[in-house]
Amino acid sequence: MSLLLKTASSSLADQLCGRLAQRIQSRLLAPGARLPSVRQCAQQQGVSASTVVAAYDRLQAQGLVEARKNRGFFVRELPWAGQAAGAPPQQTPEPVRPAPVNATALIRGMFHSQHGKPQPGMGVFPADWLESRFLPASVRRVTGTQALLAHSLQYGEPAGDSGLRRSLSNKLASLNIEATPEQIITTVGATHALDIISRTLLRAGDCVMVEEPGWAVEFARLEALGMRILPVPRRADGPDLAVMARYCEMHAPKLFVSVSVFHNPTGYCLAPGSAHRLLQLANVHRFYVAEDDTYSHLAPEHATRLCALDGLQRTVYVSGFAKILAPGWRVGYLAAPQALVEPLLDTKLLATLTTPALLEKALAWCIDQGQLRRHAERIRDRLDQARARSTKLALAHGCNFAAEPAGLFGWVETGVDTDLLAQRMHDEGYLLAPGALFHATRQPCSLMRINFATTQDAAFWKVFARLRDVAAPVRRS
């Protein structure tokens, strides 16, 4: 962490204000995030309380933070985004929305260099895990001179490359999901598939049920579309069906977004009994289920999936290949009930026209030749070893797991407010994923999500333990 040092040209308060302002303006501190208390910040930065007060006063004057009585200082929304740093805010700035948590801070953090250190808050595998010889070979096969011209000088098929859709249909059959190639639409990643579903089935103001804790990006995306978010507690066996039933009676939601296998962030997998009861609820109350199976390549084929039990009647299946194969390729897909295929395809065409045919053809070759399957097996073996090491390190440094370690992510109990801890860890070069990020409404939380692939470094855990031990315990209501 770079120290604050008083110079003739810049006071300590100015330096601290500039450091926090840069973090806010780059969205690494999300709107609504709570700053450390004056006392905590003074201890963290090695300065006096009066210096922190002066820095916070400057941030308030710039319209970057606001003070809330008896609660502390909070980052404000920036309706004047694009103005020069330090420019005065509009006369009537928009009020800070209390929820949901803005996930773009975590996403932006993915693209900011952190001194080459492994990042525990990241949601992807390290790049060296994904390196392979078959990916370049697959691209070379579809980019010969004639093929390159043929596939580059015209749009691809509206629903996606037919060869890839046939490959995906066969792949889904191995998961006991019966989907014809005509029921499959390729997308620009799994997130795009979820967006297509939302824009097709919902209108602003509609109610959507989401799992909590859940995927922070999904909360933020639905909120940006103007949806009313109904958080459903996620338990080890599946979503809380009693809560869902009450929502159905009171709000008539049109959609439920769920991660059945290796739920993010807990790692839970759906139990068969819960799956059957959930589908009964969907049929009675006529809502659709978007089943996000992003981590399908890490899970056993026999894991319970709603789409396999339902036969794509009230369910829409979503998956992709960025996590397991090539983040830069951004190839995802959805499989839908026949009656929804054309409306979903219309939404895709309005947004992207088509998807890149060259990469889709290369991916089809990887699937058909068994290269993807063998690659996934290697990743699973490596992840099993990493999970064991990371779990051992976490326990040795005073953490507990709120859920049995499984899949890519661990849901870790720290005992302190992880929002504040994340800010301190950032100063040390580590991007943390605090627990509040995975709740539809912001609240102090002592949990954090870790990536097992990037938390095998004992140096990270030593820094974590040092900063955790001087952090304040989480305040529970």
Sheet holding 433-434, edge to edge: 400-401, 409-413, 447-451, 433-434
Bond into 98 cis (ω within 30)? no
Identify whether 473 is part of a domain: no
Residue 222 has φ and ψ, to the nearest 5°, of: -65, -40
* Domain encompassing residue 53: 12-75
Same domain, 34 and 66: yes
Statement to judge: residues 381 and 365 lie in one domain:
no
pLDDT of residue 88: 42
| Per-residue confidence (pLDDT) for residue 78, from 0 to 100 | 65
Please count the helices (runs of H) and the strands (runs of E) in the chain: 18, 13
355, 269: one domain = yes
474 domain residue, yes or no:
no
| CATH number of the CATH domain containing 424 | 3.90.1150.10
Provide the whole-model pTM. Answer: 0.81
Stronger pLDDT, 129 or 472, i.e. the higher one: 129
Between 369 and 121, residue with greater pLDDT: 369
Choosing from 336, 351, 369, the residue where a domain stops is: 369
**Residue 89 domain-assigned?**
no
67 and 41 within one domain: yes
Residue 83 inside a domain? The answer is no
Q: Using CA atoms, how far apart are residues 109 and 124, in angstroms rounded to an integer? A: 13
Query: Do residue 227 and residue 362 come from a single domain?
Result: yes
Q: Are residues 36 and 138 in the same domain?
A: no
CATH no. for residue 62? Answer: 1.10.10.10
> Closest by alpha carbon to 33, among 355, 436, 433, 305?
436
Least confident of 264-268, 322-326, 423-427, 436-440: 423-427
382 and 344, same domain (yes or no):
no
Q: Are residues 397 and 316 in the same domain?
A: no
Domain assignment present for residue 362? The answer is: yes
Structural domain count of the chain: 3
pLDDT at 85 over 50: no
Name the residue with higher pLDDT: 67 or 103: 67
pLDDT for the residue numbered 69: 85
Query: Average pLDDT of 381-401?
Result: 97
Residue 313 forms part of a structural domain: yes
Mean pLDDT score, 89-114: 45
31, 75 Cβ separation under 8 angstroms = yes
Q: In this structure, are 336 and 392 located in the same domain? A: no
Segment 112-129 mean pLDDT:
80
With respect to residue 172, please indicate whether it lies within any of the assigned structural domains: yes
CB 241 within 8 A of CB 277: yes
CATH number reported for the structural domain that contains residue 323 in this entry? 3.40.640.10
In the structure, what pLDDT confidence band is assigned to residue 300 with cuts at 50, 70 and 90? confident
Same-domain pairing of 117 and 144: no
Q: What whole-number percentage of the chain has pLDDT above 70?
A: 88
How confident is the model over 321-331, as a mean pLDDT?
91
* Residues 354 and 292 placed together within one structural domain of the fold: yes
Same domain, residue pair 195 and 344: yes
Q: What is the DSSP code string of 165-229?
A: HHHHHHHHHTTT----GGGEEEESSHHHHHHHHHHHH--TT-EEEEEES--HHHHHHHHHTTPEE
Residue 8: pLDDT over 90: no
State which of 369, 399, 426 marks the end of a domain.
369
169 alpha-carbon distance from chain centroid: 26
**Among residues 353, 369, 385, which one ends one of the domains?**
369
pLDDT of the residue at 154: 79
Q: Is the pLDDT of residue 96 over 60?
A: no
Residue 81 lies in a domain: no
